Structure 1
Amino acid sequence: MSDAIADAKRALRAELRERRQLITPQARELAEAGIRDQLDALVAEHGARSISCFLSTTTEPGTRSFVTDAVARGIRVLLPVTRTDGLLDWAVATDDGDIAEGMFGLPEPVGELLGPIAVNDVDLLIIPAASVDCSGMRLGWGRGFYDKTLGSMERCPPVYAVVFDSEFVDQVPSDELDQPVTGVVTPTRTITLAPSRR
């Protein structure tokens, strides 16, 4: 990755972090309700019975009520658990599952770990992002967990990144290691950018 691209990514992430800090609690609540509705419709559209999702932090578009509802409806939801080798492990979400602080302070499930390849069996991946552009390029938070996961999957199902409306932009800085997404989910809309990744 060139220094210019790395610098552009760092600057954009810092700006996005700052913007997310300024969102009011009321706006966060509305955003979470919108994300839940959009993700419910996406799951139904794909007929997904097994998905991966993530437990949102306090500054991310909220996914927790969606996860809770999906589990209650009998959908198998895999939640990521970070590992020191840069890969993601996975655990099945349960309605009474404990949540602990994982690496980097991220909320992660406590429970049986299924290994990195467990995600190969899902019908739909729902992943976090800092920003996504019109071509489907995703800017993550710089640790590469999702890029490694997506890049290693033999058969990758549709991948949708969750962002706030203002974070779906014309272009994000990217390099050859960055993995594109199929679409983007915001509190007000779901946009499919490509029929499938591969």
Structure 2
Amino acid sequence: MDERETVPVDGAKIALRDQLSTARRRRSLLDVGESGRAIAQHLLATPEVRRAATVAAYVSRGLEPGTGPLIDAVRASGRHVILPVVLPDKDLDWGRYTGADGLADARFGLLEPAEPHLGVDAVATADVVLVPAVAVDRSGMRLGRGGGCYDRALARVPVGTFVCALLYDDEVLDAVPSAPHDRRVTAVVTPSGVTRLA
């Protein structure tokens, strides 16, 4: 794809992100909390999470589907949870989740695990990788927040790993705009359940 073709894709991504962000802002905090609990129940019941030794997850922010109940339940079940740390170049380092008191305020309004960090390749050791998204289409193409952090991180994840985006039901779409560097996920989980993708 040359530069002239990238501009329309970027514009389409921005427009779709704006549309979906507006819809998220209309959600109540009650809906966000209930959705997070339902998503946690669905994921904890999957064979992939039940078999996992290490789960790469993230701390949700704002009106994203809540991940707090999920990461606490995964950790309580004896599994390791690693969380991203955004580096200055927007690549992702990783740190072990030891509980809410082990998180620190970071750039972009994020909560991140305190040091020591595990390195950018730690995501490749996870049996399950849970990622934020704005939307995912039925082929698994993920529309992220626009920073490119997760596209770089997902490039390190071995083929065959369960990579799942957490979304609301109306954010699973027929198609999302994509560029060659964009990475697919293998599943989405919404308050209605888990959908495995082609």
Runs of 4+ in 1 over 6 A off after TM superposition: none
Q: Is 1:23 the counterpart of 2:27 in the alignment?
A: yes
The match for 2:173 is: 169
After superposition, where does 1:41-190 map in structure 2 within 5 Å? 41-42=45-46, 47-95=51-99, 97-155=101-159, 157-190=161-194
**Could you say which residue in structure 1 is the equivalent of 2:38?**
34
- What are the ranges of 5 or more consecutive residues in structure 2 without an aligned counterpart? none
Q: 1:107 to 1:95 in 2, by over 3 A?
A: closer
The size of the alignment, in residue pairs, is 194
1:12 aligned partner: 16
1:43 Cα shift?
5.4
**In 2, are the aligned partners of 1:124 and 1:158 still within 8 Å (CA)?**
yes
Instruction: Tell me whether 1:193 sits opposite 2:197 in the alignment.
Output: yes
8 Å contact kept, 2:124–2:156 = no
Separation (CA, whole Å) in 1 of partners of 2:158 and 2:51: 21
Is the CA contact 1:5–1:174 (under 8 Å) kept in the aligned structure 2?
yes
AA aligned to 1:28 is V
Amino acid aligned to 2:106: G
Q: Please, what TM-score do these two structures have when normalized by structure 1?
A: 0.92
Q: In the TM superposition, what whole-angstrom CA distance separates every residue of 1:96-118 from its partner, at most 9, and x where no partner exists?
A: 53322222222222231111011
Residues in 2 aligned to 1:156 and 1:88: alpha-carbon distance in whole angstroms: 21
- The structural deviation recorded for 1:92 is 0.6
Q: For 2:184, what is the secondary structure of its paired residue?
A: coil
Tell whether the 8 Å contact from 2:168 to 2:190 is kept in structure 1 after alignment. Answer: yes
Q: Which amino acid aligns with 1:140?
A: G
Cα deviations by residue, 1:111-149 (Å, 9 ceiling, x for unpaired):
311110111111110110000000100000110011011
- Aligned with 1:152: secondary structure? coil
TM-score by length of 2: 0.92
Counterpart Cα distance in 1 of 2:125 and 2:168: 28
Q: Which string of whole-angstrom CA distances, capped at 9 and with x for unpartnered residues, describes residues 68-121 of structure 1?
A: 111111110000010012210111111353322222222222231111011111
Say whether the 8 Å CA contact 1:150–1:156 is kept in structure 2: no
